[in-house]
Amino acid sequence: MQRFILKSKNQITLLSAILIATAYISKWAAGNTEVFTLALIVASVIGALPIAIQAYQALRVKVVSIDLLVTIAVISAFLIQNYEESAIVTFLFLFGAYLEQRTLNQTRSAIKELTEMAPESAFKQMENGEFVEVDVDDVDEGDLLLVKTGAKVPVDGTVIFGDGHINEASITGESLPVGKEKDSKVFAGTILENGTLQIVADRVGEDTTFGRIIELVEEAQDSKSQTERFVDRFSKYYTPVVLFLAFVVWLFTKDVELAITILVLGCPGALVIGVPVSNVAGIGNGARSGVLLKGSEVITDFSRVDTMVFDKTGTLTVGNPSVSETIYYSADSAEVLGYMASIERESDHPLAKAILEEIGEVEFSVVESTEVVKGGGIVANVNEHRVAVGNVALMEREKVYLSDEVKADIDRFMNCGNSLVLTSVDGELKVLMGVRDQIRKGVKENLRKLKKLGVKNLVMLSGDNQGTVDVVSRELGLTEAHGNMLPEDKSAYIKKIQSEGHIVAFIGDGVNDSPSLALADIGIAMGSGTDVAIETSDVVLMNSDFSRLPHALGLTKSISRNMKQNVTIAVGVVLVLFAGLLLSEWVSMSVGMLVHELSILVVIINGMRLLGFRLRK
């Protein structure tokens, strides 16, 4: 019976409205007071049922809820035969709950849109070579899939044939179609606007970028910020205090109507709903804009950030460097390049890819006893030779002699902004390569926006040499830039500036960034970075779109302001109503409930504004 009544709340609300309307029509039009009284009595009873059930269910788990305040107030009004107040209060409370739920559902529409965008089927190549439509759950990594014009890309994958333009708004928030060709990466949930593509599945199901977006956003909605937890604690103790206050007023004044009016006026509905609606709307906006905020707690901390620390490669720069200059110090360069290629092809470091592209096709050798030197490079045995490929520090560790000529070359490379890759064979330097990365397009403008949003310090930490770091720093106008930083050096730097009272955000994309991402007050990962970096972070910029960073900071500041506005509105309404009760005669039970429900709608509508948030130019 309880389930049936609660399920029929909307119908009960409508019936209550009809009965109240019937009561007043019969009184004003026909002067029939009997129908007037009977209709209000029935409206009070049926309207109180779902409210009383909710109050009872809350009491069973030892929670004194708003429903209990309203239930006591309605029963008291009914007992003193104030049927108008009891009927109107129950209707307003139920109608307010209906509007509140309806409006909240709209704030969650951004999340709902995401889940509805999830692909359901795919055209998979079968053993006979034909493409057959199958459920997306039946696609495995390595399967060959066909994507036609207008279809959703079913998985994260790599294009192996065809070309076209894809709308990646569901991933990046950018509606401008992106051109795709052979070897391009595509993401699940995006839409092929024209062309035909054949792709090989790299990630499927929940492991896709789109699947992770939905999972992270759902987790974010379930989390609670410090403000929300405070409001929850406040409401937990506030409601019993209002109940006690009403009892004391009745005890001293013997005025039952005054006591039950206090119960209604003290309802903290807007306070309870104001903060969650801001968070849900803000997280929804972020999800549609290519920004994943992992929880409400992140919003508060991010909005207060005054220092941003950036990794260089893959964050401020494209992360796709190329060899700019090479110097050979021996005649056997072809053999040495073969050794280098054999070692570098086992590495996933961006510099390794650049070196392999520069070397081209060579004869590979068997690599044995590989040792990765953190922050230094790689040492391995190749064809019975000890080969070291890495930076100057690695050469010093290997006791490789660097002549004055070599040191001069190194200085020149560094002053030109190159990262250094030195190769030694059996303790003798053979090759010096300079590798340079390109700064991401628009980064300088986005950093300027961050400063306007209140970020005082923009710092770059990199494992590259200081010369390379200084070149990038000068071009971008950073506050500080430090090179030759190992992962533990980056963590130590973050601890240092945190101890100085700064709220720090760290932005990176690699495995070696994970300690810093975890240590910073806010860890921000580039979406194309490693899984470890993404899991460790608090915020993810999907598709590594750096331009989303100012939007993310501006959004969290707006959410934080919006939460404070809603709390102020909620508390202000209660204070005004109590002041009106003490200083005037216009405040009654039904007026108080009407004002409360209106305040709930105000804070919800105020929170919904965040769905349309855009950073001002």
Instruction: Give the start-to-end residue ranges of the domains of the chain.
Output: 120-154+156-203, 322-436
Q: Which of 79, 76, 80, 96 is nearest to 16 (CA)?
A: 96
What's the whole-number average pLDDT of the chain?
A: 82
Q: What is the pLDDT of residue 227?
A: 58
Rounded to an integer, what is the distance from CA 446 to the centroid of its chain? 19
Q: Is the torsion defined by CA of 207, 182, 364, 436 positive or negative? A: negative
Per-residue pLDDT, averaged over 541-564, amounts to 88
Helix (H, G, I), strand (E, B) or coil at 245: helix
Query: What Å distances lie between residue 63 and 236, 242, 347, CA to CA?
Result: 7, 14, 57
Rounded to an integer, what is the distance from CA 101 to the centroid of its chain? 24
Q: Which CATH class is domain 322-436?
A: alpha beta
Q: Please state which of the ranges 88-97, 166-175, 272-281 shows the lowest mean pLDDT.
A: 166-175
Catalytic residues: 311
Interhelix angle for 83-107 vs 269-288, to 10°?
20
Give 152's strand partners.
Answer: 191
Contact 484, 465 (CB under 8 A): yes
Does 3.10.150.10 match the CATH number of domain 120-154+156-203? no
Q: Please state which of the ranges 153-162, 345-354, 410-419, 539-548 shows the lowest mean pLDDT.
A: 345-354
Q: Please state which of the ranges 260-269, 291-300, 472-481, 605-614 shows the lowest mean pLDDT.
A: 260-269
Per-residue pLDDT, averaged over 76-82, amounts to 78
Q: What is the pLDDT of residue 536?
A: 65
Q: What percent of the chain has pLDDT over 70?
A: 87
Contact 509, 311 (CB under 8 A): yes
Contact 208, 155 (CB under 8 A): yes
Q: What is the pLDDT of residue 145?
A: 93
Q: Please state which of the ranges 128-142, 374-388, 534-548 shows the lowest mean pLDDT.
A: 534-548
Q: What is the pLDDT of residue 173?
A: 46
Q: What is the pLDDT of residue 404?
A: 92
Angle (nearest 5°) at CA 321 between 315 and 324: 140
257 vs 446: CA distance, rounded Å: 60
- 162 pLDDT higher than 60: yes
| 372 or 506, higher pLDDT | 506
Per-residue pLDDT, averaged over 16-23, amounts to 90
- 392 pLDDT higher than 80: yes
- 297 pLDDT higher than 70: yes
Model-level pTM?
A: 0.61
